[in-house]
Structure 1
Amino acid sequence: MKRNRIVILGGGTGGTLMANRLRRAYGWHEAQIVVVDRDDDHLYQPGLLFVPFGMAQIEDLVRPRAGQLRAGIDYRRQEATRVDTDTRTVYFADGTILHYDVLVIASGARLLPAATEGLTEAGPQERVFTFYTPEGAAGLRQALERFEGGRIVVNPVDLPVKCPVAPLEFCFLADAYFRGRHLRDRVRITYVTPLDAAFTRPVAAKALAGLLADKHIELVTDFATGEVDGAGGRLISYDGREERFDLAVVVPAHGGAAYVDRSPGLGDELGFVQVDRHTLQAKAAPEIFAIGDATDVPTSKAGSVAHFEGEAVVRNIRRFLAGQPLDGSFDGHANCFVETGFGKGLLIDFNYDTEPLPGHYPGPLGLPLLKESRLSHLGKRAFAWLYWHRVLPGRELPGITARMPRRGKAEPTQPRRP
């Protein structure tokens, strides 16, 4: 029997859970599984949101990548430079190459601050920050501690971004933070978004906009940031509008891994791998699959999506190597806990075709959906343990399935035909 080599580029959420699931699916004699990443720091990215508010420490969010992989998985610290789909070869910066029978691209999304004029020169660690990196989150914590009043602007420059609700969560937590310091009446918080609403899905957007209004957080929509003027304290849109700030929390534009751009036919114009959205098979070559933030699928770039995709990708790799038709059942399932401050949160659950709906998840007796609750806050805070001990090891979560559940949800009523 041939021993297939499965190469996984990326040792983050998607790559790690894929490797661990595949190791359980295949014996050592059946498949060699190789995970490659350019560094050895596995970061629990959702925790960065809490660092600026003193609710998490950077050192508690990072663990060695190799330590999250099951025995029998080969971990290599190298930087990929391109993929040759014709010869099934990955090229690395040190001049070495690696051939594969199946390739899984799980290299996530990267921040592109240079894509916005002035952002890289906008006064980093002075009054323009991002909490999407450990360094930025730590610097923002110090900036908030010094902040005694003025205008804070929170701005995702463009979409898609990792965890698209996170900038909104920052606004909610900032509201609670300054109320706790008895400074809220001296702090003006504004959420500036390129979208025409608070979120991408109308039902959730309405609920989130209501929360912004309740907390006296301004909402500015349809603002396409073209320049960040750190010295002058201005966001400038492409149409010439300006939003002034004393402190800016900016989420830079995102793109796929640089090596995807250097691999003809593999990615779209942003460097995200083009895949069939139901099988996760790459359009460039049948033996390539992608998972998580690295894909171009039209759903949130969130850890929950990578977790749900993992089941589908493992199943389809097994089918591909067995010469069987692929399973096109992945439905774009995503769910997100939204931290809303003061020990509360809300949960949204949706897929490609279904809006976030009210009700409960994962069933009638589950967590409330689209409604603030203490349970959702506790769920978000508890998820860190589940991440390290259940999600990354590739274990199933009791009652949680890859396909979006409909039980417990208030389905919209269809108008009667005359």
Structure 2
Amino acid sequence: MANATDHLWMHFTRMASYSAGEVPTIVRGEGAYVWDAQGRRYLDGLAGLFVVNAGHGRTELAEAAAKQAGELAYFPLWSYAHPTAVELAERISSLTPGDLNRVFFTTGGSEAVEAAWKLARAYFKRVGKPTKHKVVSRYIAYHGTSMGALSITGLPGIKTDFEPLVPGGIKVPNTNFYRAPEHGDDPVAFGRWAADEIGRAIEREGPDTVAAVFLEPVQNSGGCFPPPPGYFERVREICDAYDVLLVSDEVICSWGRLGEYFGAVRYGYQPDIITTAKGITSGYAPLGAMIASDRLMEPFLTETGMFAHGVTFGGHPVSCAVALANLEVFAREDLVGHVRANEGAFRSTLEKLHDLPIVGDVRGDGYFYGIELVKDKTTRETFDEAESERLLRGFLSTALFDAGLYCRADDRGDPVVQLAPPLIAGQQQFDEIEQILRTVLTEAWSRL
């Protein structure tokens, strides 16, 4: 649309890049595909933004929204409840691991992360440890864009314009085994080292100052870093030893993305808090949540106790109704089981790309994969900043889209292509993704 550049300020977008052309405008979706204003079809290889887990065009979710809006379009959760929030909180608590039974609704992921950090600080004040306020997170990890969440985020490039940030953010190594040659072919040793770096960071800062560790089950930024064997087991031990809360940031990794409702279940660890959003409604309405253990609620159950935090649209009745309908779709079609049954086929299809000289690593789990691009497969040499700019923004992003695949070409770490299709995808879509990537990556190599 010609007027998109005149009035619409798009997120994380170089607006000048559209000064000489039209903004791509998506007008319709069905299943694993979307269509633009010119009628061209694209495979949605990123589920919108790791969001549309149940797929596009689900009329029952739209109908659930309309029905709820006709009954009660809005009422706040500030000292009052409404039925859809109550029912959804109960439903979520039945799916979470352990005693994570307390659901605090937000409108998205950044807000959920903010709420989790605020809860960690407030909790420790109430149990007599008021100096515990800092947060440990990993290099290159993305945890959101609000000022607190941005302080937890480990991406310097998106933080500079907004500094100084909230103090107390501490960074430790991530779990990119491909870039850990000193550990050879021993992922267990690497995982132990990476986990122990969290303990060393807590010791350096002083255990009496650290409130929480924020980790994604599979780290998104950098290109889908799964945890090495034993990693989360060791992190849990460290958090327990220093009385630090373990926050599992599952804004992406929950709701079937990794073949379980929650990534913590996939990897067998017990967090104190889970943050979630995105796939909880499959994107049909905005909703997020911070899910806390019963013990974290206890200090706020005194006669005058209150967690002094809230957002106007957190737990919106329409969004909660959509989430409930979304979970009905998950249960009826066993979407989580579908991911478990097909993740091996997705992996093996993507691994065919290893024969291309530009493909260094294929990594991920479930329906969440990153393909790291390299200049030299033997040495694992990566691209410099100028080369990455030409490769990703100068060619790959546009070429993949023009070829009919919407995905993410990203260089917030080393250059990667990220894939996270709707959970309804199957072999037909896997093959389509592989064929488009093969064609476009082959051309990209020829241009280098």
- TM (norm. structure 1) is 0.32
Higher strand share: 1
Which has the larger share of helix? 2
With normalisation by structure 2, the TM-score equals 0.30
Q: Quick one: higher RCO (CA 8 Å, sep 6+), 1 or 2?
A: 2
